[in-house]
Structures are given as C-alpha cells and as structure tokens.
Amino acid sequence: MSAPSLTPSKAANHRRNPPRAAGPAPSGGRFAKSLKRNLTAHGFLIGAVLCFAVFSWYPMVREFFLAFQKTDGGTTTWVGLDNLTTVVNDPAFWQAWRNTALFTVLALVLGFAVPFAAAVVINEFHHGQGYLRLLVYLPVMLPPVAAVLLFKYLYDPGYGLLNELFGVFGLPEQQWLQDPDISMFAVVVASTWMNMGGATLIYLAALQGIPGELYEAAELDGAGILRKIWHVTIPQTRLILSLMLLMQVIATMQVFVEPFLLTGGAGPEGSTTTVVYLIYQYAFNFNNYGAAAALGLLLLVLLAGFSAAYVKLSRAEDE
C-alpha cells in the first residue's frame, strides 16, 4: 500500500496474477492455475447468474416470442402480427396512451418541479434541515396500500378532508376520483406525495455540491434570487436534473399501482386506464398473454429510446 504513484487501474493491471509465495502451490501449469481461478470465480457467480437466467433473461426473450404467438389450451401457434392488430384496434388502446401521456406530463410538471423547489427551499435553511428531509421522505416508506387508501379517504366527496379544506378557502367542492376530468390529476397529486422524497434528497445532495463563490460572483453582478437560481443553481445541477427527468419519464410511463388502487384501474369513463393497466387486463383478466406481450413490446420500444438517452447521460456524468 506504500506505492501511491500508480493509479488504481494500473495497479490492477500490474498484479493480475498475484505472487503466491507462501500459499499452497497448485499443481500443474499456468492453464490449470487459471482454470482453477476461473472455476472459483464462476462458483461465486453461479447463484446470481442462475436467478438472472430464469427470472430475467429468459422472460426477456420470452416476452418477445409471446408477442407473436397465441396460446390456446396447451398449443402455441405463431400468429405474426395478429396480437399487435388486436391491441391497436382495441378502443381502449388510444385512450390508454393518451391517459399515460397525460399522467407523464402532469407527473413531470408536479413530480419534477415540486421536489426541486422543495430541495432549493430546504437548502436555504440553516436550521431544521434534518427534520424537513425526514418529513419529505416519510411517505416513501409507507406501504403503497396505506398511502393510496389514505388518499382515497382524503379525496372522498362526502367526508374527505380535501373538500373540507377547499370549503375553508371558499373553493367549490370537487368529485375528485369520480370526475373523469380531474381523476388523473388527483392520481398524480397522490403519486407525487408518495414518491417525491427520493428525488428531493437527491437534489439536495446536488445543491450542496454547488460552490458558494458562484453565488457571490452572481451577486456582484447584481443578480436577485430568481436570477441566481436561473444562472447558477439550475446550470450547476443540470446533469442530475436531466438524469432525473429521464428516469421520471421512464418510471411514470409505467404507472400502475396508484390508479389501480385509487380508481380500480380504469377510473370513471376509463379516464385513468394506463398502458400498463391495459397490459394487466389482457394478461390477467382476459388471459390473452399474446396481446399483453405485444402491448408490452410497444411500450418497451418507446422506453428504449429514453433508456438509451439515460445511459448516454450517465456516462457523461461519470467522466
């Protein structure tokens, strides 16, 4: 450990084959040695690799095949693009995509801006930061059933706290989850409350990395608070902001649990049917695995683009 001149990666290259002076010398030549080393290494890997093979890699391949197959009883036949046409011709198809897009946009407006604003505000305080951080993260730790049913009661048009609160401010009472025009909005608010803690903490960590001199320099130029946010805070956290944005798009496009628990999935007039809920319906209500897989494949293709962008950005951040 007393040769600090080497960078870690170089050190690793130098010592690929550690000297084995005192250890029990393995018999055989270099080949046998490396075989033995590899056997040990793969022995450590085997458990995880088997699990991945059965529960991740194989289902990935299977998803692809399923999308072009139909299973009836015990026989599986190739049906080409039939599943895809079934899915696309379903009247719920476009509605599900519209709802999902609406959820994603709403979730970005709320779920992206709110945690960032919360982080900026918390970061300004010299007291009570721990308490505020704890508060924001509290809902993340609730089991989803508890958080979601809690919101179901808050939204209740009869005795719900939210209408009560609206009454105090003289606002008209709403039907919330029963009103097709705002049901999705209500779902997004609940979802933001449940999930914003993680993003807030990540933004806070990023904000704490901004050098204070930048703010001082901006002040010398006469910048006010808003200009400082615009010209220093946002550019300095740009990478993390864009990473989180992508991650949120990927996550919100897959929304399922919140609408499923809050409105039973479809919601009034199908206003909260999401793409993943439709997949769920095909697979587990209609037993049409082929259609479910075809729809899943569409979602996968769409999200693959976002994922690729995400990977590229993370690489950029690593460097």
Partner 1 sequence: MSTRTLISPAQLSRPRGKRLYWVTFAAVVAVFTLVFLGPLYWLVSSGFKDAQEVIQTPPTLVPGSFEPENYSRAWEVMDLASLLFNTLYYAFGALAFQLVFDVAAAYSLSKLRPVLGKAILGMMLATLMIPATVLVVPQYLTVLDVPIIERNLLNSPWAIWLPSVTNAFNIFLLKRFFDSIPKELLDAASMDGARPMRILWSIVLPISRPILGVVSIFAVVGVWKDFLWPMLTLPDPTKQTLNVGIYSLSNGVPVNVLIAALTIASIPTLLIFLVFQRNIMSGLTAGGLKG
User: Binding string to partner 1 for residues 153 to 192, with x set by CB under 8 A, is what?
Assistant: xx---xx-x--x----------------------------
* Cα 130 to Cα 138: distance, rounded to the nearest angstrom: 12
User: Binding string to partner 1 for residues 77 to 116, with x set by CB under 8 A, is what?
Assistant: ----------------------------------------
Q: Exactly one of 184, 253, 266, 278 binds partner 1 (CB under 8 A); which one?
A: 253
Q: Within 38-57, which residues bind partner 1 (CB under 8 A)?
A: 38, 40-45, 47-49, 51-52, 54-57
Q: What is the DSSP letter of 270?
A: G
Give CA separation, 198 vs 119, 136, 240, in Å. Answer: 11, 8, 13
| DSSP assignments along 218-253, one per residue | HHHTT--HHHHIIIIIHHHTHHHHHHHHHHHHHHHT
CB of 299 to partner 1, least distance (A): 6
* Cα 289 to Cα 294: distance, rounded to the nearest angstrom: 9
Q: Could you tell me which stretch among 82-90, 95-103, 105-113, 303-311 binds partner 1 (CB under 8 A)?
A: 303-311
Size, binding site for partner 1 by CB under 8 A? 116
Q: Within 280-299, which residues bind partner 1 (CB under 8 A)?
A: 280, 283-284, 289, 292-293, 296-297, 299
- Residues facing residue 78 across a β-bridge: 69
Q: Could you tell me which stretch among 61-69, 78-86, 102-110, 265-273 binds partner 1 (CB under 8 A)?
A: 61-69
Q: Does 217 bind partner 1 (CB under 8 A)?
A: no
CA 104 to chain centre: 12
Neighbours of 192 (CB within 10 A): 21
Residue 182, Cβ density class (10 Å: 0-12 exposed, 13-18 middle, ≥19 buried): middle
Q: Does 134 bind partner 1 (CB under 8 A)?
A: yes
* Cα 38 to Cα 43: distance, rounded to the nearest angstrom: 8
Q: Exactly one of 23, 29, 73, 170 binds partner 1 (CB under 8 A); which one?
A: 23
Type and span of the H or E element at 186: helix 183-207
Q: Does 28 bind partner 1 (CB under 8 A)?
A: no
User: Binding string to partner 1 for residues 136 to 155, with x set by CB under 8 A, is what?
Assistant: xxxx-xxxxxx--xxx-xx-
Q: Which two tokens stand for residue 304?
A: 């693959």
